[in-house]
Amino acid sequence: DVKVTQSSRYLVKRTGEKVFLECVQDMDHENMFWYRQDPGLGLRLIYFSYDVKMKEKGDIPEGYSVSREKKERFSLILESASTNQTSMYLCASSLFSSGSINTGELFFGEGSRLTVL
């Protein structure tokens, strides 16, 4: 079965702390994504990566950075957490296959709910 695992389901941090959210997928997918989910705003793309050490900004990258040192792992980093980063964070992955139809179907983790005090 397809599996995307987010290491922390719930985190509570203080303003100014550095926060790491880890995501691992076991499907050998090329693409990995970090979304943020807020009530009334739906899912918004923060960053994505289509290969090791490659990253692209999404719609709301400010205040975030990412790291992808291995194909299966994609980390979201909040260098200095702020209260407006309190949210649900969702990691996802998708397959890219050269020469085949790529639909963009996403496989999601369970989410990490971050509270910044």
Other beta carbons within 10 angstroms of residue 90's beta carbon come to 21
- Shortest approach of another protein to residue 16 CB, angstroms? 27
Tell me: does residue 71 bind another protein (CB under 8 A): no
Asked if 115 interacts with another protein (CB under 8 A), we say no
Q: Which residue, 77 or 95, is less far from another protein as judged by CB? A: 95
Give the Cα separation of 116 and 31 in Å (integer): 28
Q: Which two tokens stand for residue 98?
A: 């050269």
Phi, psi dihedral angles at 59 (to 5 degrees) = -85, -30
Residue 86 CB, shortest distance to another protein, in Å, is 15
User: Considering the rule CB under 8 A, would residue 106 count as an interface residue with another protein?
Assistant: yes
Determine if 90 is a binding residue for another protein (CB under 8 A). Answer: yes
User: Using the rule CB under 8 A, which residue among 16, 80, 102, 117 binds another protein?
Assistant: 102
Q: Does 56 bind another protein (CB under 8 A)?
A: yes
8 binds another protein (CB under 8 A): no
